[in-house]
């Protein structure tokens, strides 16, 4: 098992990663009857894309003896109304300076082949920007 999810009421869940014991909550967004005091379930999906892309780039960078430490990703999730679903995820990466063009291309390819990217439904538009 990976995690345990408990509905704790008031449109909120508590999530426990079973191996580490780390926790986080989700909260329904304010535009869907919630308080918006934590990540919504769809926020975790959009953010998970950036997490996965950074993690797999980190693995590749380590193999290439590069550092991408301090790289950031700003994530924007766009919802559609009918049916209510994620219609677009925008991710903007900002990398440290000094990475060669060849390494940039390798890392971009690596990011775009992460498991979450492949797992998202093809109808979800993914707009990925790499700022080197």
Which stretches of the chain drop beneath a pLDDT of 70? none
> Which pLDDT tens digit goes with each residue over 40-76?
999 999 999 999 999 999 999 999 999 999 999 999 9
Q: Which of 62, 75, 49 is nearest to 103 (CA)?
A: 62
**Are 108 and 129 spatial neighbours (Cβ–Cβ below 8 Å)?**
no
Residue ranges covered by each domain of the chain: 1-39, 41-131
List, as one string, the DSSP characters of the chain: --EEEEEEETTEEEEEETTT--EEEEE--GGGTS---SB-HHHHHHHHHHHHHHHHHHHHHHHTT---TT-EEEEEEEEEETTEEEEEEEEEEEPPS---HHHHHHHHHHHTT-HHHHHS-TTSEEEEEEE-
- CATH number listed for the domain at residues 41-131: 3.30.300.20
pLDDT (0 to 100) of residue 88:
98
């Amino acid at each position: 098992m990976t995690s345990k999810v408990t509905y704790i009421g008031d449109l909120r869940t508590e999530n426990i990663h079973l191996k580490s014991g780390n926790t986080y909550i989700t909260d329904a967004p304010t535009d869907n009857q919630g308080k918006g005091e934590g990540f919504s379930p769809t926020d975790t999906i959009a953010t998970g894309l950036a997490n996965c892309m950074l993690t797999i780039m980190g693995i590749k960078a380590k193999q290439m003896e590069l550092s991408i430490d301090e790289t950031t990703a700003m994530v924007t999730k766009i919802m559609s109304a009918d049916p209510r679903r994620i219609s677009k995820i925008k991710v903007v990466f900002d990398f440290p300076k000094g990475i060669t063009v060849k390494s940039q291309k390798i890392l971009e390819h690596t990011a775009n082949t992460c498991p979450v990217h492949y797992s998202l439904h093809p109808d979800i538009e993914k707009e990925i920007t790499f700022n080197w």
